[in-house]
Each structure stands twice: as C-alpha cells, then as structure tokens.
Structure 1
Amino acid sequence: MAGSPFLVFDFDGVLVDGMAEYWWAASAAAERLVPGLAWPEPPHPAFARLRPLIHKGWEMVLMAAELSRPDLDLEGLVAGYREAVPQALARWGWSEAQLQGVLEQVRTEAIATDPAAWLALHRFYPNVVERVRQLEAEGSSWAVLTTKGAAFAREILRGAGLEPQALYGHDQGSKPEVLRRLQADHPRLWFVEDRRPTLERVAADPELNAVRCFLVSWGYLGPRDALGLPARIHWLTPERFAAPLATWP
C-alpha cells in the first residue's frame, strides 16, 4: 500500500520481556570475569530497578557485578546512574568491549548447548506476536532496532515464527544513526521504543523531524517516564497498539 508507514520496533521492552535472561546472562558473564561472585537468588529485585536505566548490554554485566558489592549504595546508584557507570568500569578495571564480548560469549554458548532453555528465558508481551503479524495485512512492513546482538534477537524472533524486513543490532550504529539511514527509503518512519531518553534524542534530532515516535506503556519504564511527554512522543497503550494503524496517535 503506497504511503504506508514503516514501523521500527525496539526489541527488549517492546516486543520481548527478557528480564529472566538478562539477569541470568549478566550474572553469568560477571562471574566468568570474577569467579565466586555471590548475589541473592535471581531474579535480583535491584537489577529490575536498574533495568530502565541500562542502555547497552555491557552495562548489564557491570551492574550485575556492582550488585555483588556488600557496600553498594543502591539508592545512590539509581539516582546517579550515568555518572556511576564510568566509575564502576574503573573500579572493576574493565572496558565496554570486554564486557560486551563476555556477554555475547555466554549467550552464544547457551544457544549452542541448549537453545530451548535459552529461548524459554524470554517471553513476548501479550498479543505482540499476533499484532506484528497483522501489519502485513495492513500494508506495512516492520524492522527491529536493538542494542542487543542481532543474532540473538533473530533467534528469539524465529522461535516465534517472526521475520522482520530488517534487523539492526548494536554493531550497526546508534539508533538515531540507523533511523537516519532508513529515512532515505522510508519517508513514513514510525519508531516504537520503551526508553524515553532514546526517544528524546530522536525527537531532538533535526534530521529526524519526520519520524513519528511512540513510547509504549509496558516494558522497562522508569516511574516518571510517562509524565510530561514532549509533543513529538506519543503514548502507546496495549489497546492502541492492537488497534488499526490509522488510529494510532
């Protein structure tokens, strides 16, 4: 259908709830770097509090290690997360690339040895699979833009019988960079995300003025993320998500 929107979905927190896998993979990677780390039984409730603040996969490993510290000031970490990340990297003597590499190694080994068990750590949000499949009937195509490794996201999507037109992982560039490239072929670009700071970056980019931005009401939201949204960021509830695209805000 001419003029139909091209939808770009974030993966974690929009299509899939992978909290159980995040904690499993992050804690396993951290323990691989520092054998003998100990935490309360997963899922660690403090990790769930931090998840809305985490932007990239390597940060999960770093936060898993931080949560093993008996002297950790959790409230201070939550309040000053961005400033705390480089301090934590320096404290443990790690690099971003090192953490990302170990995380991907843990996941690659899990998929190779017991793919069913690894896939079982993820669940699609209610009605997401059915709704995404309906897009083709509405004349729209869709893609996935994630900070996860593309191979891991593709494995999860295939487990549900889903095949996006394109899938962009963390190695494809930042989300605004990928959206700029997509604009060349898709003038009606809709971006669906659960992380407000990411949408604010897109909305503030003058090169992305034509991108329609949606913040989902589910996923890994902070307690104030729904308040005072900029005019360019539209609130997307499950009911609106299930409705025809023509009725979306």
Structure 2
Amino acid sequence: MTGNSPAAPLVVFDFDGVLVDGMAEYWWAARAAALQLAPAIALPEQAPAAFARLRPLIHKGWEMVLMAAELSRADLALEDLLAHYSQRLPQLLARWGWSAPQLQQTLEQVRSRAIRADLSAWLALHRFYPGVVERLRRLDGDGVAWMVLTTKGKDFAHRILQAAALEPSALHGHEQGSKPEVLRRLLVRHPRLWFVEDRRPTLERVRADPALTAVRCFLVSWGYLGPADGVDLPDGIHWLEPERFAGPLAQWP
C-alpha cells in the first residue's frame, strides 16, 4: 500500500498509551489536583504501584484525580476497586462529595498552570514510545493521513505533539465528544478508517456500534494494558505489536 493510493486509509490514533507514555505526568497532575481539592490528605510524590495497576482501567482524566484521592485512604480495598472499577466510580464521587466536571476542571487548571510556569518541565514528564515519532513521520512522507483522538484536553495533546514537530491532519480531544461519536462523524467522510487504541473496552464499544462496523480496530501490545487485555481478542480487533506497527500498512494485521 502506498500513500498515493486512493485506497490509503485514514489512521486514527489514541494518544495516551499509544503514542505517548505520560505516566509520570498523570500522577503528578492527578496528585496536585487531589491535594488542591482535599489539602488534608497525604500522597507520595512518586506514583505508587497501585496507581499503575489502576491506570489501564482509567478512561477519562477526572478519574485519575479520584483514584489519587482514593490512594490516600489507609482502608482502600484495592482488589475490590480493580474488580469493580466502573461500578465504584459513582460511589467514590459521592464519598468525596465531588463531581466529574469539577475534577476535570481542576485537573486542567493544574496542567494549565504548569504549562504557564514551565512548559519545558511539563513536557519532560512525557515520552513518546520508541519508534512512534519516526513512524508518524513516515506516514506523512507516504501521504497517509493520520489523526489523533484522545480523552485528554485538545490543547494539552497539541503542545506535546508540537514539541515533537508532529502535525496530525486533525486532533480531537474530549471536548469533541466520545470516541465512538467522533469516529461516526469521521466515517461519513472517510470510508476506510483504522483506529489504534490501547484500551480494549474502548475498542469493544466501537465494535458493538452498528454504525462503526467498517472501522478497522487495532489494540497495541504496549501502553496501559490490563493483564488479560490481549487474550482471546474478539473478531474485528487486531493485535498490533511494535514490529508490525513499524512496517508498511499493508502488513498490519
């Protein structure tokens, strides 16, 4: 497949866990936001191991703040939270007396202040996965359009991409709606749509949407995966390893 081919797909990438590893920034920002909302709690400066275990389950930024606060509790039942994460979120919000929009707004305020104070320091908390920058530049060179679809705020993702001199044909943040909503809009104009993610539940939601059956879905083997995320993948979700990712699109599974 060449970039000049009219059959070239539009490749849509998730951001966190696919292009960029921002684990250090996630904990830093989530911790700062949680401490702003609950100054009496105590949280370590370095991300605890439990946060890394929770990260594959976290879908939106506000959840990171809530999880940081929860990790301050001595009586936290971590295994129960891991097993029943989605069901526990409303209960935990009620326990802390917070709302999802409040947490999201606080998180974005923390990040905005950090960018204004020292952009270089904030950028240094992120790293692109090996080979990603080079692969995206080869897509550009081949004339293959690629976009970014993330639950991160659009401006924050833009700054990280800009620092690496990467320019997607479009960047969709959480402000543009859910990932299935954005994909439905894109599919109207791009009948060959490939979607690359590191969250299996997100891909399963896409596969379950009758309007998105034409979207070709890929689950990367890196990123924030749960222990069993790559096991027994359902039809229509393809396992993408670094070697295939680096190769021609025609060789992707």
| TM-score interval, smaller chain | over 0.9
Is 1:217 equivalent to 2:221 in the alignment?
yes
Unpaired runs of at least 5, structure 2: none
1:159 is matched with which residue? 163
Letter of the aligned partner of 1:195 in structure 2?
Answer: R
Is 1:30 equivalent to 2:38 in the alignment?
no
1:46 is matched with which residue? 50
CA distance in 2, matches of 1:158, 1:235: 29
Deviates more, 1:96-105 or 1:31-40: 31-40
Deviates more, 1:34-43 or 1:45-54: 34-43
Is 1:194 equivalent to 2:164 in the alignment?
no
Alignment of 1:5-154 (within 5 A): 5-154=9-158
Letter of the aligned partner of 2:113 in structure 1?
Answer: E
CA displacement, residues 183-204 of structure 1 (integer Å, 9 cap, x when unaligned): 1111110000000000001011
CA displacement, residues 9-31 of structure 1 (integer Å, 9 cap, x when unaligned): 00000000000000000000000
CA distance in 2, matches of 1:101, 1:242: 37
CA displacement, residues 29-69 of structure 1 (integer Å, 9 cap, x when unaligned): 00000113212341211100000000000000000000001
Question: Secondary structure at the residue paired with 1:224?
Answer: coil
The correspondence for 1:247, drawn from 244, 248, 251, is 251
CA distance in 2, matches of 1:13, 1:36: 31
TM-score under structure 1 normalisation? 0.99
CA distance in 1, matches of 2:157, 2:168: 11
Letter of the aligned partner of 2:226 in structure 1?
Answer: G
CA distance in 2, matches of 1:65, 1:89: 10
TM-score under structure 2 normalisation? 0.97
- Compute the displacement of 1:231 (Å): 1.3
1:176 is matched with which residue? 180
Letter of the aligned partner of 1:107 in structure 2?
Answer: R
Question: Secondary structure at the residue paired with 1:167?
Answer: strand
Aligned residues: 249
RMSD: 0.7
CA distance in 2, matches of 1:122, 1:136: 23
Letter of the aligned partner of 2:110 in structure 1?
Answer: V
CA distance in 2, matches of 1:68, 1:18: 21
Letter of the aligned partner of 1:22 in structure 2?
Answer: Y
Runs of 4+ in 1 over 6 A off after TM superposition: none
CA distance in 2, matches of 1:113, 1:41: 19
CA distance in 2, matches of 1:183, 1:190: 10
Letter of the aligned partner of 2:212 in structure 1?
Answer: L
Unpaired runs of at least 5, structure 1: none
CA distance in 1, matches of 2:214, 2:250: 17
CA distance in 2, matches of 1:30, 1:87: 17
Deviates more, 1:10-19 or 1:29-38: 29-38
Identical residues among aligned pairs (%): 71
